[in-house]
Amino acid sequence: MAVVSDAAAGLRVASRATVLQLRAPGLSAMNLEGQASQLVSSAAIPVVISSRCDIALATGAAGVNLPESDIEVAGARQLMRGRLVGRSVHSLEGALQAEREGADYVIFGPVWESASHPASRPVGVEALAEVSHALHIPVVAIGGVTFERIAQCHAAGAAGYAAIGLFE
């Protein structure tokens, strides 16, 4: 599983990714809906929308990915009517909670330093391995993923990786 967190990058690399995530926190709902509609209709792979169940449903997206500070997974699960519900987490406790609440997958990190989140402290490959082995749902590594680090993600037990810069 490879997740791309940028619509523009996603359109260029769909052949290397298995899921595209549209994450555009600065956009108005109207602009986000427009970008999501375009991405969902043009992508050959599933698209999930960050944080916005309403936009995901309105555009026919495959699901939603929720930050830890967002609504509960159980609430999103009711809204999403069988579509994917993922949760971005930063700790083992957060990952276990997401699994208990019914998340289909978690995105865990940042594993390494990340240019897109410079203030976030990296958790490291050991923490990725701990989370990957503790959960019964897919764990996707995020944060500072490079082509050279993909093998480390898989060796740690991650089902895949998410990236922005890797695909630009």
Q: How many domains does the chain have?
A: 1
- Low-confidence winner among 1-15, 136-150, 154-168 (lowest mean pLDDT): 1-15
**pLDDT at 6 > cutoff 50:** no
When the pLDDT of each residue in the chain is averaged and rounded to a whole number, the result is 90
**pLDDT at 168 > cutoff 60:** yes
- Per-residue pLDDT of 107-156, as tens digits, reads 999 999 988 878 889 999 999 999 999 999 999 999 999 989 999 999 99
Q: What is the pTM of this model?
A: 0.89
> Which residues constitute the domain of residue 152?
2-167
Question: CA–CA separation, 34 vs 131, rounded Å?
Answer: 35
**CATH code: domain of residue 13:** 3.20.20.70
